[in-house]
Amino acid sequence: MTAIWTEKYRPQSFSEIKGQKEVVSKVEALVKQQNLPHLLFTGPAGTGKTTLSLVIAKQLFKDQWKANLLELNASDERGIDIIRHKVKDFARTKAIGNVPFKIIYLDECDALTKEAQQALRRTMENYTQTCRFILSANYSSKIIDPIQSRCAIFRFRPLEKKDMFVIIEKIEKDEKIHLSDKAKEALYEVCGGDCRKMENILQSCAAMEKKIDEELVFSMASVARPQDIKNVLNLALKNKFIEARNELLNIMLKYGLSGDDIIKQVQKEILDLDIGGRKKMELIAYCGEAEFRLSEGSDEFIQLEALLSKFVLAGSEK
């Protein structure tokens, strides 16, 4: 495995992109007409925003796509000087070959400063004849309204389980590895629709074993098994506070988890507990409170013990 899988298995055509059928069909129609507006792709990480942008460039420019595409990561280069110089210099020159415009792809553009976004807004206006912009952002609310109004906005969703499984099975076949059904379920559980994260975890697992099971996936992802977390919560609900605390500490040591990681997993498991709906909502609120205190610098073990004590009290009231 000499290549990083996220690059090795990156789709090269519209038909290969999984999980964003609606978005892909609309963008493909625009590319066929060679009448592309400025585009804004928004959505969670690992859902195909960069992949679709590269496919657009490859389909429009064919062999000359590298010469006609400027790809920048705005989280690294986020100041106004980048927009004034690097972007503007590329935008003002004519495209190479028989194509009407170049493409500038700005990844993570929600990290651009407000001043840079204002400069970008003018550049988008002035160089429409020679250049199109594709902007990618995790949070569209961080993009100023004037830029949003200049773009056709496409919202990406996390990949569904069936789409993730198609990608997993292709990698499994090509790399000659074997995943159990539980391992595939665990991968989807851990990644939550993030394809890039799934490929990175799977590559790490494949470096360790050719036969990948559920335990290896959770271990490489540094995530506790959901059943282990649920067992801790059930012990607390049965008024076995000391046992629950010891088990929680063992889980944290085994998987190398921080208090913040544990709280996020606890919050997921609350909805499956055998307690009343009102109690579940109260416990989720306590998770939010503990997570906020950790972010402010509180001691994680004290906060986790306090959270477990809330579960003990909820169990005794039941």
| Cα–Cα distance, 40 to 144 (Å, whole number) | 12
Do the beta carbons of residue 51 and residue 85 sit within 8 Å?
Answer: no
Q: Which residue has the tokens 């544990």?
A: 262
For residue 127, the tally of other CB atoms under 10 A from its CB is 20
DSSP 84-119: IIIIHHHHTSPPSSS-S-EEEEEETGGGS-HHHHHH
Q: Give me 84's structure tokens.
A: 């004034």
Helix (H) or strand (E) holding 234: helix 226-237
| Cα–Cα distance, 161 to 164 (Å, whole number) | 5
How confident is residue 73, by pLDDT bands cut at 50, 70 and 90? confident
- How many CA atoms does the CB half-sphere of 158 hold within 13 Å? 12
pLDDT at 3 over 60: no
The pLDDT value recorded for residue 287 is 93
What sign does the dihedral 74-79-80-83 (CA atoms) show?
negative
- Give me the mean pLDDT over the 216-226 stretch: 87
How confident is residue 291, by pLDDT bands cut at 50, 70 and 90? very high
Mapped onto helix, strand or coil, the DSSP state of residue 174 is helix
Q: Which residue has the tokens 């200049």?
A: 150
Set out the domains of the chain in order of their start, with CATH numbers: 20-155 (3.40.50.300), 161-220 (1.10.8.60), 226-317 (1.20.272.10)
DSSP label of 64: G
pLDDT at 109 over 50: yes
∠ CA 67-112-124, nearest 5°, is: 55
